[in-house]
Amino acid sequence: MFRSIKAQLGAVFLSFLLLVGGSVAATFVAIRAQVSDATVINLAGRQRMLTQKMIWLALAQPDSPELDAAIQLFDRTLLALRDGGPTLDPGGRVVTLSPAPDMAVRAQLDEVAQTWSTFRAHLQPVDAVALQTESPLILAQLDSAVSVFETRAQAKVTRLQFIQLFFFVAALLLLAWSYLLTWQRIISPLALLGVTARRMASGQLADPVPLTDGGELGELGQALETMRAEIAIARDQLELRVAQRTSELASAFELSQEIVAQLDLGRLLQSVADRVSSLMHARAVSLCLLSTDGEYLELVASNDEAVGRAGLRQSVQRGLARRVVGAGETTVVEAVCSGCSFLSTHAPGQCVAAPLRVGEHTLGALCAIHPNDIPFDEDETRALTLLANSAAIAIANARLAEMERRQAEQTAILAERERLAAELHDHLAQTLGFLNLKADRVREVFTIGHAAVAEGELNLMKSAIATAYGQVRAALVNLREPLRHGEKPLTSTGPALSQNLDTCIADFRETSGLPIELIMADSAALALPPITQSQVAHIVREALTNVRRHASARHVWVRVERVNGEACFTVEDDGCGFDQGAVETDQHLGLAIMRARAERNGGRLAVNSVCGAGTKVVAIFPLARQTANSPHSEVIL
């Protein structure tokens, strides 16, 4: 029983508890005794003071009531000191004293009592001569009594000191015992087991675990030794299995890499069938995919011509297909191939089938056949499931790639349509509008008979028609983005955009006759990529065209500035304005194209218009970081 660590530690803790409890109890008793002794010594000392007071009162005021009170208090206190009982302490509180603790104290108090009886007789009536004679005797006896009490109290203090010293020595011995016990039974065995555990963690399982003598740690050591032996056996078995499966896993990995990288669905499916046949040494392999309606399995690949040609179908409700496709489980059966129209030529035989699953969706099934006398083991079944999962992912990827390719083609077609619509709107539509205005102008000139002016207008119209012809040819052959008459090729440094803005302003003045100002608040805003500069020119031209057609404005402003690190191009007029909600609801083509141009280049378009208060169109584009320190200038043209 006492060999266990629990019992030994319990004995140590119990010993500490008893030692502490005994020390506290002894100290508590000693303190109470000292308090009682202090009270007795105090009262004995007060008796001497009462004696001196009574002598003074008897000689000076023999009839004073204080003398009677002092005599009574002396009697009461002396009786309590000797025989025990109640009396008054110096504070006037009633205290109860115990009888004299031993015969020596009692004998000393008896002498005081005898002397007191004689001394009291001389107090009433007063006998001054006798008092002078008896007072030294009774005072000496009282002093002796106080000394006896003090000696007894000091003896108790000395005894308490010895008791405390004993407890201290006992505590040291108990501490040393507990230290040795802890070191021998806990720390040292744990350190040894820790070294063994670290050795096992590092893979050194050959050395046995050193066993300790009995106790809980001995049982722990035995359990650790059992675990070491089992781990060593399990590791050997695992290494053997790893060695056996390494080649198979390598082949499976190569297959996974190949089928994942292959995006051509037909080649992918045939590669899966061939690889599975080679890896699993199967006599035949078939790969089937679910039809669109999920009711049939269609044979899409096989490694054996005897299986059948691709395109054969069978219902998923038949035999093995129902278990694999419906339940989504890998199934191994015997001679079930006779129930499969794809594999019936190989019956009887061992057949394993795994579903092709991606998430919760089943794409088809992958089947392999062994001769009847060669069963599939658990590892082969798991390998086929792994290959089926990889093949399913690859098939899904191939389908997704095909879908993305088609979507990309459709997106490219839509983008080309949008680009062509924007070009026709920005160039050909505006040119035709210009020709319409010039035709009206020619009619007016002919009406008033100014043939020379009409000829000039016709020349402008001819030039515009040539420009429109070039724009249509460029748009049809998609060689480049057509330029307006007078525009220059754009660069990333800014001057070309500035010149094209000047051209826009000049064209607007010529066609509308309205006053227009170009405010270049910050030329750094022109430092945009070439394609963005082109879009800015188109947006500004479209905004000015809208002003000319719809605004009925008296003045127009074009402002170029930089705000919060962004380039801002503002076209503002003081015309009639418009209802933004109505325009957006009707999907105004010009605004839609301007907004699309801005967003395609990472910018945004803001339109603010109030009926009767003009319109402001703001195109905002992010600036390149290196333009942050460009010089600022403000020029009003």
Q: Which CATH architecture has domain 266-390?
A: 2-Layer Sandwich (3.30)
- Note the CATH architecture for domain 5-179: Up-down Bundle (1.20)
The correct answer on CATH 3.30.565.10 for the domain covering 487-636 is: yes
The answer to whether residue 532 scores a pLDDT higher than 50 is yes
Q: What is the pLDDT of residue 559?
A: 95
* Helix, strand, or coil (residue 36): helix
Residue 177, token pair as written in the block: 């015992």
pLDDT at position 338 is: 45
pLDDT at 55 over 70: yes
Is residue 271 within 8 Å of 279, Cβ to Cβ? Answer: no
Highest-pLDDT range among 168-172, 233-237, 452-456: 168-172
Give the pLDDT confidence score for residue 486 in this predicted structure.
Answer: 44
* CA 637/CA 631 separation, integer angstroms: 19
Greatest mean pLDDT range, 209-218, 488-497, 566-575: 566-575
* Helix (H) or strand (E) run with residue 537 in it: helix 530-546
User: Tens of pLDDT along 403-415?
Assistant: 777 776 676 566 5
Which band of pLDDT confidence, cut at 50, 70 and 90, is reported for residue 563?
very high
pLDDT per residue as tens digits for the range 268-294: 777 788 877 777 777 788 888 888 777
Question: In this structure, what token pair is assigned to residue 478?
Answer: 């998609």
How large is the angle between the packed helices 530-546 and 495-512, nearest 10 degrees? Answer: 10
Report residue 96 as tokens. 């109860």
Residue 369 in this model has a pLDDT that exceeds 60: yes
DSSP lists the bridge partners of residue 560 as: 520, 569
Q: Are strands 516-520 and 635-636 parallel, antiparallel or unpaired?
A: antiparallel
Residue 118 neighbours by CB under 8 Å, 6+ apart? 134
When comparing pLDDT for 402 and 607, which is higher? Answer: 607
Nearest to 193 by CA among 221, 232, 216: 221
The pLDDT confidence band at residue 481, using thresholds 50, 70 and 90, is: very low
User: Of 326-335, 374-383, 573-582, which range is least confident?
Assistant: 326-335
Is pLDDT at 616 greater than 90 in this prediction?
yes
Q: Is 323 helix (H, G, I), strand (E, B) or coil?
A: helix
User: SS3 for 631?
Assistant: coil
pLDDT of res. 562: 93
pLDDT tier at 427, thresholds 50, 70, 90:
low
Max mean pLDDT range (236-245, 382-391, 573-582): 573-582
Strands 331-334 and 313-315: unpaired
pLDDT at residue 336 above 90?
Answer: no
Are 81 and 43 contacting, i.e. CB atoms less than 8 angstroms apart?
Answer: yes
Please tell me the predicted confidence (pLDDT) of residue 479: 43
List the structure tokens of 408. Answer: 């990309």
Q: How far is CA 398 from CA 250, 260, 394, 401, 402, in A?
A: 24, 9, 6, 5, 6
Per-residue pLDDT at 81 exceeds 70 = yes
Q: Is the pLDDT score of 536 beyond 60?
A: yes
Q: How far apart (Å, rounded) are the C-alpha atoms in residues 129 and 112?
A: 20
Task: Give the pLDDT band (50/70/90) at residue 557.
Answer: very high
SS3 for 77? helix
Report the SS3 class of residue 342: coil
Q: How far apart, in whole angstroms, are the C-alpha atoms of residue 492 and residue 536? A: 13
* pLDDT greater at residue 596 or residue 246: 596
For residue range 86-119, list pLDDT tens digits in order: 888 777 788 888 888 778 788 888 888 888 888 8
Question: CB 322: neighbour CB atoms within 10 A?
Answer: 12
Least confidently predicted of 87-91, 308-312, 477-481: 477-481
And the tokens for 592?
A: 């839609």
Q: Which residue has the higher pLDDT, 155 or 425?
A: 155
Highest mean pLDDT among 148-152, 373-377, 580-584: 148-152
What's the start-to-end Cα distance of the chain, in Å?
A: 109
Residue the block writes with tokens 């359990």: 223
pLDDT tens track for 495-530:
588 888 998 899 888 888 899 999 999 988 998 998
Evaluate whether 266 touches 302 at the Cβ level (below 8 Å). Answer: no
Could you tell me how far CA 578 lies from the centroid of its own chain?
52
Mean of the per-residue pLDDT values of the chain = 76
Q: Please check the confidence at residue 348 and state whether its pLDDT lies above 70.
A: no
**Three-class SS state of 353:** strand
Q: With bands split at pLDDT 50, 70 and 90, how would you rate the model's confidence at 482?
A: very low
* Between residues 54 and 588, the one the model is more confident about: 54
Extract long-range pairs of 120-128: CB within 8 Å, 24+ residues apart: 120/71, 122/58, 123/54, 123/58, 123/67, 123/71, 124/58, 124/62, 124/67, 125/62, 126/58, 126/59, 126/62, 128/58, 128/59
CA angle 86, 43, 37 (to 5 degrees): 90
Q: Measure CA 88 to chain center.
A: 76
CB 367 within 8 A of CB 387: no
Same fold, 5-179 and 487-636: no
More confident call, 306 vs 516: 516
Binning pLDDT at 50, 70 and 90, where does residue 604 land? very high
Question: What is the C-alpha to C-alpha distance for residues 289 and 281, in angstroms, rounded to an integer?
Answer: 23
User: What confidence score (pLDDT) does residue 627 get?
Assistant: 40
In 377-513, the DSSP E strands lie at: none
Q: Where do the domains of the chain lie?
A: 5-179, 205-261, 266-390, 487-636
| pLDDT higher than threshold 60 for residue 339 | no
Identify residue 367 by its one-letter amino acid code.
Answer: C
Residue 126 has pLDDT above 70, yes or no: yes
